[in-house]
Amino acid sequence: MRLRTLALVLPLSLSLGGCGYNRIQALDERTEELKSNVGVELTNRNQLIPNLVATVSGAADFERGTFTDVAQARGGLLQAQQQMQRAVQTGDVNQMSQADAAVTSQLRGFMLAVEAYPQLRATQNFQGLQDQLAESENRISVARRDYNQAVREYNTYVRQFPTAITARAIGAERKLPFEAPAGSEQAPTVDFSRTAPPGAAPR
C-alpha cells in the first residue's frame, strides 16, 4: 500500500514542480511579503504627520491671514493621512498608490505653506521631523522598487510557456505594480533660505 501511494505521489510532485506550480507559489508569497513592506513604510511615514502638524502649530506665531493658508493645508494633509490608513488596511495596490500620491502632494503643500516662517528653522523638533520624513521617503522608494521587481519577475514567469498553462489552471493572475506619483522620488523639503513672501509679518 505504501509503495502504491508513493508511486502515485512521486509523479504528481514531479509534475507540479516541472509545470512551475511551486515556483508560482514562491513568487506569489514573495510579492505579498514585499507589498506588506510597502504598507509598513507608508504607515511609518503616516505616523510622522500628526507630529509634524503639532510641531508647526505649536512653534509658529502665525499671522492671521497666513494661518488660514496653513490651516487649509493642514486639513488637506490630515484628510490624505486618513485615506492612507484606509488604503493600507485594504492591501489594494491601486488604493495604496492613490493614497501615496495624495499624501505626497498634500505634504508638499503643507511644507510650502509653513515656509514663510523662518523661526521654524531654529526649532529642533521640526528639523528632526524633516530628517525623519526624508529617511521615510527613501525607505518607501526602496520598498516600492523591491516590490515592483518582484511583481515583474512574477508576471514574466506566469506568462511563460508551459508555466502559463499552470497559471491559468490555478487562477494565478497578473499582479499590478506600485505606481508611484510623479516626482515622489524627491523627499519633501523646505527652503529656509527664501525670504518671507510679501505681506508676511516680519520675524
The pLDDT tens digits for 34-88 are 999 999 999 999 999 988 888 877 765 544 455 667 778 888 999 999 999 999 9
State pTM to two decimals.
0.76
CB neighbours of residue 133 within 10 Å: 20
The pLDDT tens digits for 94-147 are 999 999 999 999 999 888 877 777 776 557 788 888 899 999 999 999 999 999
Residues near 177 by beta carbon (within 8 Å), at least 6 away in sequence: 93, 147, 148, 151, 152
Q: How many CA atoms lie within 13 A of 27 on its CB side?
A: 22
What residue ranges define each of the domains in the chain, with the CATH number in brackets? 20-170 (1.20.1440.20)
- Total residue count of the chain as it appears in this document: 203
